[in-house]
């Protein structure tokens, strides 16, 4: 009887150890997936920041070119009030041209 008890005890320990061993790869896989996800999220954040910076640079470049165009076309002679009054029509015309160019 003592042999069965010892065998039974060994059997339980072996099953527990086997369960623990099977659990380790799962934990490892979960951790590995979490690490991959963290890396992807980090890369996505870097890309978002890069996109934001590229858009800022593009807007700054557009602003410089618009200023140069206004000066070249001698449009700086108009008062700010004239610009404000004309701006809705200018904006509408620019949106129409942009929509046509995008299509």
| Per-run averaged pLDDT (10 residues), the chain, 103 residues | 51 54 68 94 98 98 95 93 96 94 86
Spell out the domain ranges in the chain: 77-103
Q: How far apart are CA 89 and CA 83, in angstroms?
A: 10
The DSSP 8-state label assigned to residue 73 in this structure reads T
- Tell me what pLDDT residue 83 has: 95
| Other beta carbons within 10 Å of 70 | 14
- Tell me what pLDDT residue 103 has: 83
Look up the pTM and report it: 0.58
- Tell me what pLDDT residue 28 has: 84
- Tell me what pLDDT residue 80 has: 95
């Amino acid at each position: 009887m003592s042999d069965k008890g010892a065998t039974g005890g060994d059997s339980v320990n072996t099953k527990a150890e086997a369960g623990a061993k099977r659990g380790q790869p799962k934990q490892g896989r979960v951790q590995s997936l979490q690490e991959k996800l963290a890396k992807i999220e980090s890369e996505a954040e870097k890309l978002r920041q890069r996109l934001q910076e590229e858009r800022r640079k593009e807007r700054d470049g557009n602003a410089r070119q618009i200023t140069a165009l206004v000066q070249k076309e001698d449009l700086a002679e108009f008062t700010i009030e004239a610009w404000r009054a004309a701006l809705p029509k200018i904006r509408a015309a620019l949106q129409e041209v942009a929509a046509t160019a995008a299509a």
